[in-house]
Structure formats: structure tokens, C-alpha cells
A = this chain, B = another copy of it.
């Protein structure tokens, strides 16, 4: 399959340009401190020979890889049921590419893969990692954190310094805390519920997400924030636990109608759940939004747009979240290199929360 002929080396370029390897190296890496005529000769030689630096040789001496691992744990199929993941990846990819970094994708299929991932990260193949931690009890984030690789998390990890209910042990005692990017789940939920209140609804229910994920917990908290502020609105029976799936949404909605036939609004933890609720509502003869208003979360297309009726929902800028994660990591890496200190500092600790916006369509 075409030429496996060895590609030109620095040596070859140097020879052709009539200079030393060191000079070529300087030109190739930014070219500071090389006089223009010479630099030009080198550039021409590079072009003529089609020289491309050997990354392995370079890494060997610089100890850098210009590569970042993206770790996605997907024990559930949920990750693949919506474009969330793909969009995030796209944002990450854009940012990484803009800074000449490669993206090494690590997909894990359950516990067995944890060791593999941990080993890979600890092995120093990449300069940093972007990790999506979906579940509160996932050991992976801890492992990775312990591996000593600069890391930014996607979504608030369950064991972070933040609104952690209690009991979850931090993976280690050291370090100023984790860095993560998340959307404003709680604020978005508040906006949704407030909108329902403004609509004059009085029996507002919530179908939760899988409560082992911080996003579900935060959305539930947002719902409660608003309900607590409306006299007489709170009613535990209005909260039904679900799992972010359409099937779960159906079951939860049916349970809800059993308990509270007078419900006149539903805030679903995500669009898929809302979809299931919509179907049950329709089957029960109720009209949306006339009898029951429905709001979802994610603005997951085409689901939200193609739902019947089109779904009012809380949008988060998923691609931007990915982009931001990469930017944070890269910045942290650069900082670490600039500091003369021996070891790389992590990026400024703490979480970055991206805003959400309520998208009004027909369902509420």
C-alpha cells in the first residue's frame, strides 16, 4: 500500500539546508533566534522534503505528548441514546485541535476496564484527562484523581467538595479539590418550575432522573427550591423517582396519575422522560398543555423538537461544556509548565457552571 519508505528526518533537512540539526529544530519549533535568511532556507528544505517531525522522538525528550485522554464511562446505554456525548466530544475536539493536541478516546465498559484506564493514564501517555463521571458510586474518578494526571471532570463528581449531602468519602485527602464543568442543573430546574408556577399551575409534579447522578439530584433540588417558596405547593407525592428513560417516564407518569389525578403540570428530569410522560398523558385522555403542562430538560434534538406537542425544555450548551473542559485542562497544563516548580499545578480548583435557558415550545 504505497510507500512505506522512511520519512525524512531532521538530519536530512539539515543536510539539504546546509545547517545543523539544532537550527532546523529551532525553526520547526517556532524559530526564535534564527536569522531570517537561514530560517527561510530551512523552511524551504522542510517543504521540499515534506518533513514531518517524529512525535515519538520528540516526546521522548520533552516528556510531553500534546495529547489528552477523554474517558467516558458508559455502563448504561444512556450515553448512546442521545447526542449529548457526541456534542461534548465535538466541543472538546475543536478546542484540542485549536491547540494542536490529539484526542485519545477511552471508552469503558464497566469495572473490568477501570484498571486498564488507570494504568494507561498513570503510564504517562497523555498530558491530561477529561473525565465524565456519571454515577455517584463510580470508582473511576477516584482512581484517576489518584493517578496524578491533571484532570477536568465533566459534570459534578459525586464526591466533590460541593453540595455533597454527606458520607461520600473523598478519594484522597490531598489536593485543593477537583475541577469540573457542569451546567446549572439546579438553576435550570428552578426556571422550569417557576415558569410552570407563572402559568398558574398549582399541582406541579417532578419526575426525577436516576438519583445516583448529581445532575438528577441537582434538578430535584431546583424543583424543591421553587416549590418550597409557594405556600401549599409542596407535596411529597408529587415527586416520583424515575431514571432518565422514556420507559421510566411512562411508569413514573402512570404512578403519578394514580396518586395525584389532579396534577396539572410536570417537570421531567430530561426530555426522554418527558416523552414517556407525554405518551401516558395522551393515553389517559389528557391534553398537553391545556390539562397538563410538561417541561423537559436538555433540549435534546430531535426528541424535543419532534415531540407531540413540541417540548418546552431547559437547554444547556453541551458543546460549550466540552470546549470549556478542554480549555481549562489545557490552561492548567500550560500553567504547570510555566511555573518553574517541579510539578504541574492543577487548574484553579472548583467547578465552572454554565448557564441554562428555558426554551418555550408548545408543551408548557
The residues of A with any CB-CB pair to B shorter than 8 Å are 1-4, 7, 50, 52-57, 59-60, 65, 67, 70, 74, 79-83, 85-87, 89-90, 93-94, 97, 102-107, 109, 113, 116, 119-120, 122-125, 146-148, 150, 174-175, 246, 272, 275, 279, 301-303, 305-306, 308, 342-346
Contact = CB atoms under 8 A, between A and B. Distances in A.
A68 B195 CA distance: 49
Contacts of A305: 246
B102 A150 contact: no
Given A90-B107, A124-B52, A246-B302, A3 B79 contact: no
Given A81-B302, A148-B3, A174-B2, A113 B89 contact: no
A277 to B, nearest CB: 12
B52 A60 contact: no
Given A52-B119, A81-B301, A308-B308, 9 more contacts: A2-B175, A52-B122, A52-B123, A56-B65, A74-B90, A86-B86, A93-B105, A102-B104, A272-B302
A67 B65 CA distance: 14
Q: Which of A3, A57, A80, A342 has the most CB of B within 10 A?
A: A80
A123 B50 CA distance: 10
Contacts of A106: 103
Contacts of A147: 2
Given A105-B103, A107-B89, A246-B306, A4 B81 contact: no
Contacts of A85: 86
Nearest to A51: B123
A297 to B, nearest CB: 16
A303 B85 CA distance: 17
- The count of identical subunits is 2
B60 A56 contact: yes
Nearest to A120: B102
7 contacts: A1-B345, A52-B124, A55-B125, A70-B105, A83-B83, A105-B105, A246-B306
Contacts of A56: 55-57, 59-60, 65
A97 B116 contact: yes
A346 to B, nearest CB: 4
Q: Which of A53, A56, A70, A93 has the most CB of B within 10 A?
A: A56
A362 to B, nearest CB: 13
Given A81-B83, A83-B81, A306-B275, A55 B148 contact: no
Contacts of A104: 67, 102-105
Contacts of A146: 2
A327 B359 CA distance: 44
A50 B90 CA distance: 35
Contacts of A86: 79-80, 85-86
Contacts of A80: 83, 86-87, 90
A346 B2 CA distance: 10
